[in-house]
A and B are shown apart, each in its own frame.
Chain A
Amino acid sequence: MTDDHRSGITTAHVTKEYPGIGRPAVDDVSLDIADGEFMTFLGPSGSGKTTMLSMIAGFTPLTAGSITVDGQEISGLKPHRRDLGVVFQQYALFPHMTVARNVAFGLARRGRPRAEIERRVADALEMVGLAALGDRFPRQLSGGQQQRVALARAVVYEPRALLMDEPLGALDKKLRDQLQREIARMHRQLGMTFLFVTHDQQEALTLSDRITVFNDGRVEQVGTPEDLYERPRTLFVAQFVGESNALRLNPGEVTIVRPERVTLHSGTGAPAGHQRASAVVTDVVYVGDHSRVWLRYGDGTRGCAVLPAGAVHEHRPGADVVVAWHPEHQAVVPDSEPDVAERVAS
């Protein structure tokens, strides 16, 4: 990336309202995405993350606000003038063109000379491990291969950023993991700004430099995966990202403790200086590298504890336990409406 005036993507007070629908789909979102950053928009369906991406790509007009890329205001530009790469969930390859011609499409639109197009298409296909398949047609490829072609097609002309809308959503688990690693490798290799939309918190934690958590059209929190996991600022983030024990110890606030941070004690074994709460074991699941103990607290809230592999324990369903944790491992967030947990689950 030779340009020296690259400054990433900035959105200011971006809002999208649809007529006749009370709540804005995207409500006053201001974000700074640094050049070369891997930013993920995470949220449940209908949270506004895809609408936000679509506005940056230019497919959806803004109701209010502005979007700048490398300092240039783009919210008034047609999508084909924005110089961004976009990858879609259903690949959206052109079925009547070979893989090579699909990848060449962006370069051809930019009027690059034929020799350069051929060279760069070959390089891009090489990068996604499909060098031998340039003459195939999309429908002769598997889903994972098609999405690799789509990735190559979207980065081959070195756009200012790569936007991906749930790109792994249509693939099975194994392929998803494989493509995740490939996307991470491409990001390191290209140093390009990547903007990734997903509802899968595990995917977001694995891939991102930073994550923006969306809920109901608003930004709940922006931070590194560690920030979101260890220091959630809202109950929604705590419950959407990872498992948590959410304890209402004081009125108006909720104490969040992650399952790895708690220890379980029968009777009075809890270490001094630790916070504690009592709970009933509802289930114990052995997962190989760890065991997961599901809990129900006194107020009916569900929680869980992760015990490392090999830890000897005698917790059985129905047993009363004391849950203990060090105060430095807790996060305190304001209490919000109680239906959040249900919305996350649905």
Chain B
Amino acid sequence: MADSVTRVARKERTLGPVLRIWVVLVGFVLVAPTLVVIPMSFGAGSTFQFPPGGWSLRWYGEFFGSKQWLASLANSVQVGLLAAALATVLGVAAAFGLDRARFRGRGAVRQLLMAPMILPGIVVAVAVYGVFLRWQLNGTMLGFVLAHTVLGVPFVITSVQTSLAGYDPAMERAAASLGASRLTTLRKVVLPLIAPGVTSGFVFAFATSFDEVVIALFLQTPDLKTLPVKMYESIVLEIDPTIAAASSLIVVCTTILLLVPQILRRRSDHDR
């Protein structure tokens, strides 16, 4: 009775009413503080107010009118894109290597590549600062990109490895036997299959870089700072609701970004 077994299994998976309320509650506690900044960013007063006394776009005007804010936003986007691209190239190669090759110390290599995800950010930051001081990379775009690439690689490895898990290497031999060269096989078989994993890896790597503050605080100079660094300074030095506008922008952008892989995955499920 396969049908009834399926039905029983499905029943098991639906949530009871108490659990449902609990889930909503936990979700609210996690998300609500983040969402508070959005109404605050539309406030009319010159201090943080929740709920705001009046409404205005004043702080968005302030944000987009300020050279400093815009420069830091541009820096963040640039560092994020470059770091994500580099992390994607390295991470995809590493994921393939870890998946295919059987070599001594494979586990250790994997742990090493994943370490930035586990190590406390401040430890990494101090270490990076020390090394970059010697290499004269502090305060350079290259320095930011390299440091954030290291942070992004684990995300790419994880997501590509997930898409390689259901991947049968015999497919590449099948493609070859059917007359496809290595390059054609890569283009027609391998890449389409790992594309969702690569995309979400790229997005995670970008998002990681985009809101990274600890390392960026060490690497920054007055001439080159990323958006989170600028936000930190603004809250320490000025306390001005422009930061609420900046936060809102970041929240909205990263949320949209993180939804992209979800949507992609749902669509590819649909195709199948």
A61 to B271, CA, bound (A): 38
Tell me the chain A residues, 60-112 only, with Cβ under 8 Å from chain B.
Answer: 78-86, 88, 90, 92-96, 105-106, 109-110
Q: Is B184 close to A, CB under 8 A?
A: yes
- CB contacts (< 8 Å) of A92 on chain B: these are 168, 170-171, 173-174
- CB contacts (< 8 Å) of B21 on chain A: these are none
A153 to B166, CA, bound (A): 21
Instruction: Tell me which of A80, A86, A139, A154 contacts B272 (CB under 8 A).
Output: A139
Nearest-CB distance from B93 to chain A (Å)? 22
Q: Is the CB of B171 within 8 A of A80?
A: no
A95 to B180, CA, bound (A): 17
Q: Is A303 close to B, CB under 8 A?
A: no
A287 to B114, CA, bound (A): 60
Q: Is B177 close to A, CB under 8 A?
A: yes
Q: Is the CB of B272 within 8 A of A95?
A: yes
Tell me the chain B residues, 180-204 only, with Cβ under 8 Å from chain A.
Answer: 180-181, 184, 188-189, 192-193
Chain B interface SS verdict (over half):
helix
A84 to B271, CA, bound (A): 31
Q: Is the CB of A157 within 8 A of B168?
A: no
- CB contacts (< 8 Å) of A93 on chain B: these are 171, 174
Q: Is A140 close to B, CB under 8 A?
A: yes
Nearest chain-A residue to B193 (Cβ)? A96
- CB contacts (< 8 Å) of B170 on chain A: these are 88, 90, 92
Q: Is the CB of B173 within 8 A of A157?
A: no
Total cross-chain contacts (CB, 8 A): 75
Instruction: Tell me which of A79, A94, A96 contacts B177 (CB under 8 A).
Output: A79
Q: Is A57 close to B, CB under 8 A?
A: yes
- CB contacts (< 8 Å) of B272 on chain A: these are 95-96, 137, 139-140
Tell me the chain A residues, 297-345 only, with Cβ under 8 Å from chain B.
Answer: none
- CB contacts (< 8 Å) of A259 on chain B: these are none
How many residues belonging to A are interface residues under a CB distance threshold of 8 Å?
31
Instruction: Tell me which of B166, B177, B192 contacts A84 (CB under 8 A).
Output: B177
A28 to B175, CA, bound (A): 29
Q: Is the CB of A105 within 8 A of B178?
A: yes
Q: Is the CB of B168 within 8 A of A90?
A: yes
- CB contacts (< 8 Å) of B179 on chain A: these are 80-81, 83, 106, 109-110, 157
Q: Is the CB of A109 within 8 A of B184?
A: yes
- CB contacts (< 8 Å) of B89 on chain A: these are none
Given that A90-B168, A92-B168, A109-B178 are contacting pairs, would A79 and B173 also be in contact in the complex, using a CB cutoff of 8 Å? yes
Q: Is B235 close to A, CB under 8 A?
A: no
Q: Is A225 close to B, CB under 8 A?
A: no
B-side interface size class: 20 to 34
Q: Is A58 close to B, CB under 8 A?
A: yes
Q: Is B176 close to A, CB under 8 A?
A: yes
- CB contacts (< 8 Å) of B166 on chain A: these are 95
Most buried by A among B176, B178, B184: B178
Tell me the chain A residues, 168-227 only, with Cβ under 8 Å from chain B.
Answer: none
Q: Is the CB of B193 within 8 A of A154?
A: no
- CB contacts (< 8 Å) of A81 on chain B: these are 179
A59 to B179, CA, bound (A): 13
Interface string of B127-157 (1 = CB under 8 A from A): 0000000000000000000000000000000
Nearest-CB distance from B67 to chain A (Å)? 47
- CB contacts (< 8 Å) of A80 on chain B: these are 175-181
Given that A96-B192, A139-B272, A140-B272 are contacting pairs, would A79 and B176 also be in contact in the complex, using a CB cutoff of 8 Å? yes
A137 to B193, CA, bound (A): 14
A5 to B174, CA, bound (A): 27
A90 to B173, CA, bound (A): 12
Q: Is the CB of B173 within 8 A of A86?
A: yes
- CB contacts (< 8 Å) of A106 on chain B: these are 178-179
Most buried by B among A83, A86, A110: A86
- CB contacts (< 8 Å) of A137 on chain B: these are 271-272
Q: Is the CB of A95 within 8 A of B178?
A: no
Most buried by A among B168, B179, B180, B181: B179
Q: Is the CB of A95 within 8 A of B173?
A: no
Instruction: Tell me which of A78, A95, A139, A140 contacts B176 (CB under 8 A).
Output: A78
Q: Is the CB of A58 within 8 A of B271?
A: no
A95 to B173, CA, bound (A): 15
Nearest-CB distance from B96 to chain A (Å)? 18
Nearest-CB distance from A296 to chain B (Å)? 45
Nearest chain-B residue to A159 (Cβ)? B177
- CB contacts (< 8 Å) of A85 on chain B: these are 177-178
Tell me the chain B residues, 89-147 only, with Cβ under 8 Å from chain A.
Answer: none
Chain B residues at the A interface, C-beta cutoff of 8 Å: 166, 168, 170-171, 173-181, 184, 188-189, 192-193, 268, 271-272
Chain A residues at the B interface, C-beta cutoff of 8 Å: 57-59, 78-86, 88, 90, 92-96, 105-106, 109-110, 137, 139-140, 150, 153-154, 157, 163
4 extra interface residue pairs, beta carbon distance < 8 Å, beyond A80-B181, A106-B178, A109-B179:
A58-B177, A83-B179, A88-B170, A157-B179
List of 6 A-B pairs having minimum Cβ-Cβ separation, nearest first: A109-B179, A86-B177, A106-B178, A92-B170, A79-B176, A92-B174
27 A-B pairs whose Cβ atoms sit less than 8 Å apart in the complex: A57-B177, A59-B173, A79-B176, A79-B177, A80-B178, A80-B179, A80-B181, A83-B179, A84-B177, A85-B177, A85-B178, A86-B174, A86-B177, A92-B171, A93-B174, A94-B171, A95-B166, A96-B268, A96-B271, A105-B175, A105-B180, A106-B178, A106-B179, A109-B179, A137-B272, A140-B272, A153-B178
